[in-house]
């Protein structure tokens, strides 16, 4: 039985990655991290500042970061200097140090009226959602990166923000990664 030659089918829409930088992207530089911190401090956005600072300090995956409980970082009204949680992916305990600036931003966030009686450190807006989702966290990170795009024209936000983990070496860390236009 002969095989009929079918006409070539053309895509009706462009490829999803056309014009985008795919694969590994360069991490945020320290000047970008400080630019985001300064913008969040000026805007008096206590939750986002505490979330950003804790993400940098803890180097946790987003799924573990959004599930942090108040009891994980707070002891008798004071923010702990070190915290320990069990990672959801590996089921291994991990300890991390909370720097002074992060402790101040966390204590300011926990004094907010929204945090009264909250079990989770990053509560959701609705009653059926106990904490923010990883998608909400990714949108927050995208907005933080977009806020410095005007200042640094080489940065462009990407649709999917990732966190890279390089290993247990103390000089490697999980970093917030924007897309880089080259």
Residue 71 domain-assigned? yes
Lowest mean per-residue pLDDT among 7-16, 57-66, 72-81, 163-172: 163-172
Q: Which pTM value belongs to this model?
A: 0.70
Q: Is residue 127 part of a domain?
A: yes
Give the contacts of 146 (CB within 8 A, at least 6 positions apart). Answer: 157
More confident site: 182 or 75: 75
pLDDT value for 118: 81
Instruction: Give the range of the structural domain holding residue 49, as residue numbers without chain letter.
Output: 30-180
Look at residue 163 and tell me if it is in a domain.
Answer: yes
Query: Sign (positive/negative) of CA torsion 39, 42, 69, 122?
Result: negative
pLDDT digits (tens, 9 = 90+) for 18-57: 887 777 667 788 888 899 999 999 999 999 999 999 999 8
Mean residue pLDDT across the chain: 77
Does 96 reside within a domain?
Answer: yes
77 in any annotated domain = yes
Residue 49 lies in a domain: yes
Q: How confident is the model at residue 129, as a pLDDT?
A: 65
Q: For the chain, what is the domain count?
A: 1
At 59, which CATH number? 1.10.443.10
C-alpha torsion 53→58→63→66, nearest 10: -40
How many CB atoms are located within 10 Å of the residue 44 CB? Answer: 8
Q: Which residue has the higher pLDDT, 53 or 150?
A: 53
Taking 50 as the threshold, does the pLDDT of residue 164 lie above it? no
Query: Does any domain span residue 125?
Result: yes
pLDDT at 150: 61
- Residue 52 lies inside a defined structural domain of this protein: yes
């Amino acid at each position: 039985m002969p095989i009929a030659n079918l006409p070539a089918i053309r895509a009706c829409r462009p490829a999803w990655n056309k014009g985008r930088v795919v694969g590994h992207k360069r991490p945020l530089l320290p000047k970008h991290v400080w630019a985001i911190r300064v913008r969040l401090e000026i805007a008096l956005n206590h939750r986002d500042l505490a979330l950003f600072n804790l993400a940098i300090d803890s180097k946790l995956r987003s799924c573990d970061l959004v599930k942090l409980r108040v009891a994980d970082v707070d002891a008798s009204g004071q923010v702990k200097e070190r915290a320990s949680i069990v990672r959801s992916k590996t089921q291994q305990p991990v300890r991390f140090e909370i720097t002074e600036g992060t402790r101040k931003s966390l204590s300011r966030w926990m004094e907010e009226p929204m945090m009264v009686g909250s079990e989770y450190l990053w509560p959701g807006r609705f009653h059926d959602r106990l904490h923010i989702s990883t998608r909400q966290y990714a949108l927050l990170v995208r907005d933080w990166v977009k806020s410095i795009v005007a200042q640094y024209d080489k940065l462009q936000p990407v649709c999917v923000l990732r966190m890279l983990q390089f290993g247990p070496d103390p000089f490697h860390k999980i970093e917030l990664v924007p897309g880089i236009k080259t």
